[in-house]
Chains A and B, each alone.
Chain A
């Protein structure tokens, strides 16, 4: 579904991703784990056209999307839940969700939009309760759910999530991961970027480890979970955090 080949990305003269390659197949949950500043956000922003690659190719459903503007990438079915949620703070929850359905409205699928809206409210009942509340006044967890809901409203065939657990209480993180897992079960394709490596690898089919802009390891999720190096570098941190 998604194929990234030899991607190079730089901010000005600062090169951040080097010859990065990865792929996501239909129906898979793939996770990318890596420390702060590894380049995870940079990668996702480049895939969605918010950043331009210096070189390399990004193919989505057999089509080169590396030079398309963001809105065209989204309308082809590749959605991103951005880091830090980024909901439209001054608008109510419902309007946020309807804006997410922009590409659906464009195709004249009003019916589907209302069905999707009900589905999102089913996934996140709290959003239904807060339907008319301004998004900026929601709690962090609720905003994250709204951000996911908004991305799902576009009816994407691939949804990418950038650190959905960031800054959230463990209980809510659990909810969110449950939702991601459910999306996978329903046949959705997910690319999940996380620092919370253990939880991410538990629900993923495959994983990549990103270090300083390079993929240093890849493999089936259970293999990565069992990998000693990963346990030391990424899961060890997790254990510390959980013991707190």
Chain B
């Protein structure tokens, strides 16, 4: 119980420490990538719950990220002012769901308010996750992997083939997402620090939720599903429902990240829906140690940051491919679980002895 809060406090401290460090060393521009890494981390911890605790693989999570991002991007950029006269549109405009703003060229346009778009994206995600989840989660092993991969590919090819979604170019000039007066999710450098904290606040809240979930009755049920589905069924655990709820929850995490990252970047492109993105999420969950939320969180922050800063150069995808293979070959429990923990443990012990 206390350990949980210790971990969360440590996370909060680490978040603040990183920000102070960048400020102290004058590397504040790192915060941009750290913010993006935060949103990806949100996707990844959600996937970690699904893979590590419910034991279901998803090779289509980039699809949910894209559903969130694209829904929000389309709704907040489509100009409805031509239909201003229509009663439905004017009603929406009066109720504040629609909002007017100046576009890139100074013209006045009428679009959906980001908050409304956000809710809309969530609803669509939940519905899609439900519709896909019900049949897909009946499958196991290769079938489940291929079905989720198929789902991801469909989203990708639909995005790529539809002009409304900007086809290969994606959607740009997505407006800022107003959070509080004076605070908005946007890539502008004046809001850089605030955005960094907001992204990681989301991650922290997400972690808190997941951790409480894992330690609740639901978490125990999930673990029993992972262990042996038939046995779980015999114990009266409604495995299908738990799996579905977990699937939907992890899809929502992905969609929320998709929405905010799209507003942060001011746009979204089809690569966010690509299979490589989905595979990358799986890779990071695997490196973190399936079923270790904290391991996954740490690996996600580190790897995403390095990747976004371009440290892997043109070998970006190859790096993640190699990571996948290496982890699965040598340490399927994850990198942190095996070595570092025992190493650190040993180190602390010898340290204490030395101190005493």
- Do A and B share a direct contact in the complex (Cβ within 8 angstroms)? no
Which residues of B are in contact with A by a Cβ distance under 8 Å?
A: none
Q: Which residues of A contact B (CB under 8 A)?
A: none
